[in-house]
């Protein structure tokens, strides 16, 4: 089975990414995983300032998956530019890299895009609109506020010509509307979904298991929410979709393709078993051969009329000129 696929103006050697927050900036996994085998990865979300993150414990396991409240621990904009992106530029060859950015305010997203845009080593930005664990903010994540979403995406759009990918929330009561806003404001793809905000309690002392209280669910328990969101989004936009949430194996990736995702991101599985992603890639090849499927792209199901994502970078950013009207 041919695993290559095209989106965001480039070719991916296969549809498997590692999700934001599960692989640092790549070098953290270089010793335990053949990173060059990946379709790509998304970095840990970068904030303007370095952050140590939330109080421990920051992760708790349960039968259906994992709960986390890392709290955006990351080296901040300047160290990302000085140390992390140069390593990616010098060491990552075939996988495509998205840099995840997270502002505590709308304007911080713009500063992050402006600060990173001239650096080498990455394809585009994943705009994290849906972090459930930002202690600097009160209330809902940006993803649940359509006017904030519009402001952030349109403001990022005018500041970069790189692809921008909006990462949305699993608990959006009107996801179709948010997807349409993101599409209209000029994003190039969507990542569905971030973790689902919930809690676990320790019955021995009746307090939350996580130091921060609530956290976000990931792993198998998130898969139905991720699939539901991808299906809903695929009817609301022509943009390519990254499916995330309980991608553990080749067949869970196929499930996301049937829902409409042309790429997938694995997260929790690689915490449990760092090589889960390379095994899933090998498993997908084998499964495809057994099922006599000739290409991954043939598995990606989009409703009629939304099956033609732009593939050339020029088409994405200069539609008037490339259609000959300019």
Residue number, 237 or 265, with CB nearest to ligand RRO:
265
The piece of 24-32, 64-72, 85-93, 268-276 that touches ligand RRO (CB under 6 A) is 64-72
Residue 22 touching ligand RRO (CB under 6 A):
no
CA-CA distance, 200 to 216, in Å (whole number)?
A: 10
* Site size with ligand RRO, rule: CB under 6 A: 15
Residue 171 touching ligand RRO (CB under 6 A):
no
Residue 268 touching ligand RRO (CB under 6 A):
no
Binder of ligand RRO out of 22, 195, 262, 268 (CB under 6 A): 195
Distance of closest approach, residue 294 Cβ to ligand RRO, in angstroms: 36
Residue 178 touching ligand RRO (CB under 6 A):
no
- For 195-206, b where at least 16 C-beta lie within 10 A, e where not — what string? bbbeeeeeeeee
Is 154 buried (19+), middle (13-18) or exposed (0-12) by CB count in 10 A? middle
C-alpha 253: how far from chain center: 14
Residue 21 touching ligand RRO (CB under 6 A):
yes
Residue number, 101 or 257, with CB nearest to ligand RRO:
101
Dihedral over alpha carbons 210, 211, 217, 218 (to 10 degrees): -100
Q: Of 226-255, which residues contact ligand RRO (CB under 6 A)?
A: none
Q: Would you call 131 a catalytic residue per the annotation?
A: yes
Residue 194 touching ligand RRO (CB under 6 A):
yes
Tell me which residues are annotated as active site: 131
- Contact residues for ligand RRO, defined by CB under 6 A: 21, 45, 68-72, 102, 128, 131-133, 194-195, 216
């Amino acid at each position: 089975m041919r695993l290559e696929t095209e989106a965001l103006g480039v070719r991916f050697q296969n549809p498997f990414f590692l999700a934001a927050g599960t692989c640092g900036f790549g070098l953290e996994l270089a010793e335990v995983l053949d990173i060059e085998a990946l379709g790509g990865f998304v970095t840990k979300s970068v904030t303007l300032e370095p952050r140590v993150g939330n109080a421990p414990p920051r992760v708790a396991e349960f039968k259906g998956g994992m709960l986390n409240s890392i709290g955006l621990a990351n080296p901040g904009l300047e160290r990302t530019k000085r140390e992390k992106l140069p390593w990616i530029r010098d060491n990552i060859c075939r996988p495509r890299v998205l840099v995840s950015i997270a502002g505590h305010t709308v304007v911080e997203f713009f500063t992050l895009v402006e600060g990173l845009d001239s650096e080498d080593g990455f394809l585009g930005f994943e705009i994290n609109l849906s972090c459930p664990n930002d202690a600097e903010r009160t209330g809902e994540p940006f993803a649940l506020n359509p006017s904030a979403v519009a402001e952030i995406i349109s403001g990022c759009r005018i500041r970069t010509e790189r692809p921008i990918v909006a990462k949305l929330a699993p608990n959006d009561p009107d996801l179709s509307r948010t997807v349409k806003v993101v599409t209209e404001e000029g994003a190039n793809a969507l990542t569905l979904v971030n973790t689902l905000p919930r809690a676990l309690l320790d019955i021995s002392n009746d307090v939350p298991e996580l130091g921060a209280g609530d956290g976000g669910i990931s792993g198998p328990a998130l898969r139905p929410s991720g699939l539901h969101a991808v299906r809903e989004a695929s009817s609301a936009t022509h943009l390519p979709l990254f499916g995330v949430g309980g991608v553990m194996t080749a067949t869970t990736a196929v499930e996301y393709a049937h829902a409409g995702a042309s790429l997938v991101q694995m997260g929790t599985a690689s915490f449990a078993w760092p090589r889960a992603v390379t095994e899933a890639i090998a498993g997908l090849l084998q499964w495809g051969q057994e099922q006599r499927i000739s290409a991954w792209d043939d598995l990606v199901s989009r409703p009629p009329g939304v099956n033609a994502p732009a593939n050339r970078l020029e088409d994405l950013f200069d539609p008037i000129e490339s259609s000959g009207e300019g």
